[in-house]
Amino acid sequence: MGPRAVHRALWAAAALGLTGCESKSSSGESVCPEGVIAKVGEAEWSSLEGALGGATGSSTTEINLCPGTFEVRTRLVKPGAGWDRIVLRGHADGTVLDGGGLGTVLDMEGNGIVELRDLTIQNGRADSGGGGYRGRGSQLLILGQVVFQHNEAPGAGGAVRLFDDEGGAVTLEDAGEGGSSFVDNHAGGSGGAVSLESSEWASFSPGGWTFSGNSAGANGGAVSVEAAGSVGMFGDFSAEGHQASGAGGVLYIDTPSASGLILGGLVASSNRAGGAGGVVRLDGTTSGDLSIQSASLVGNDAEDGGALSLGPGWTLQAASTEMSDNSPNDLAYNGSSHSGPELGDNFECSPDEGCQPAR
């Protein structure tokens, strides 16, 4: 549908009882005609599919959304060349994309960059994972002040699922100003809020994000990152009230190789895993290292490693890290059990020497 055919879409929307865009901003100023959801330059669109349709592999597509709440289940398929960069920007007066419990809110198939800003994405449901956002292909998803809430998937990734099975890379990162949050999302598989899966490279880089009340039927109550090649991580976040039936009450990582993973800050309480690692479980590697530069891990529990659990091959360096009141222990490493008071606020773990206070 072209921008000049909006009136026909409006008639159809009215006939179907669909809701449209609020016509006034908080100041009373007109921002969008009734029934218009997005603007691309001067063009006005009554559907998000139409606005996204012009995305190409050679230029950035900037889409400005209207204020209001819209029931949206949008699918974009661009195999091969994919797209260059899509920026989907909500309105300052508030834009909510609501899946109505009937499908994925944003379902994007192809290679490229997607940047979401100033949005709430809610009530999505996806049988194939990613109730709020599902990205298949080699994709970089950037979040700036985005809220994912009340999304679910019987499979992996209650709110966000990025996966690539053709040798590409999947990356989820902050836009630079922090402030995104994941609240009350649920997955039957791994990654209650976020699932990143790749046959090659997967990277998770949050920035002051908040995770609250997410749950997974498998691993990673908040986030699961799995890659057959290597994993990257850099950032900080807080997490409270998560449940994972498997390992990693908050964060689960499974990869054969992971060099230089960094958590600049981690605050986690009241999280639980049915398996190992009430907050973090690091699995699968023959060579990997994690640096925690500041953390408060209090009141979490798991089958083993109430706060942290590391498999064989992992190296850990922790500074300014408090662990207390975690059950049945604070840290489990390669078959050994440790408490926070024993290790102190600065400690390290290595395959050769086990865990001990930092020298």
pTM reported for the whole predicted model = 0.91
pLDDT attached to residue 53: 87
pLDDT at 79: 82
pLDDT at 19: 41
**pLDDT bracket for residue 359 (50, 70, 90):** confident
Rounded to an integer, the average pLDDT of 55-73 is: 94
What's residue 14's pLDDT?
30
Q: Tens of pLDDT along 2-27?
A: 333 333 333 233 323 334 444 445 54
Q: Which of 18-22, 95-99, 191-195 has the lowest mean pLDDT?
A: 18-22
**Could you tell me the two tokens for 57?**
């592999």
Q: Tell me: the pLDDT tens digits for 134-189?
A: 999 999 999 999 999 999 999 999 999 999 988 889 999 999 989 999 999 999 99
The confidence score (pLDDT) of residue 25 equals 52
First to last CA, the chain: 66
pLDDT tens profile 280-335: 999 987 789 999 999 999 999 999 999 999 998 999 999 999 999 999 999 999 88
Whole-number pLDDT of residue 26: 52
**Domain assignments of the chain as residue spans, ordered by start:** 62-357
Cis peptide before 328 (omega within 30 of 0): yes
pLDDT in tens, 294-308: 999 999 999 999 999
Percentage of residues of the chain with pLDDT beyond 90: 82
pLDDT at 34 over 70: yes
Comparing CA positions, the residue from 138, 134, 118 lying closest to residue 57 is: 138
In terms of Cβ atoms closer than 10 Å to its own Cβ (0-12, 13-18, 19+), residue 23 is middle
As a residue count, the chain comes to 359
Lowest mean pLDDT among 25-34, 74-83, 295-304: 25-34
d(CA 44, CA 6): 7
Q: What confidence tens digit (pLDDT) does each residue in 219-246 have? A: 999 999 999 999 999 999 999 999 999 9
Interatomic CA distance for residues 217 and 274, integer angstroms:
10
d(CA 47, CA 54): 13
Q: Is 156:176 a contact under the CB 8 Å cutoff?
A: no
Lowest mean pLDDT among 54-63, 198-207, 261-270: 54-63
Nearest-10 Cα torsion for 173, 179, 180, 183 = 140
Cβ(55)–Cβ(63) below 8 Å: no
Query: Is residue 160 a contact partner of residue 189, using CB atoms and an 8 Å limit?
Result: no
Task: Name the average pLDDT for the chain.
Answer: 91
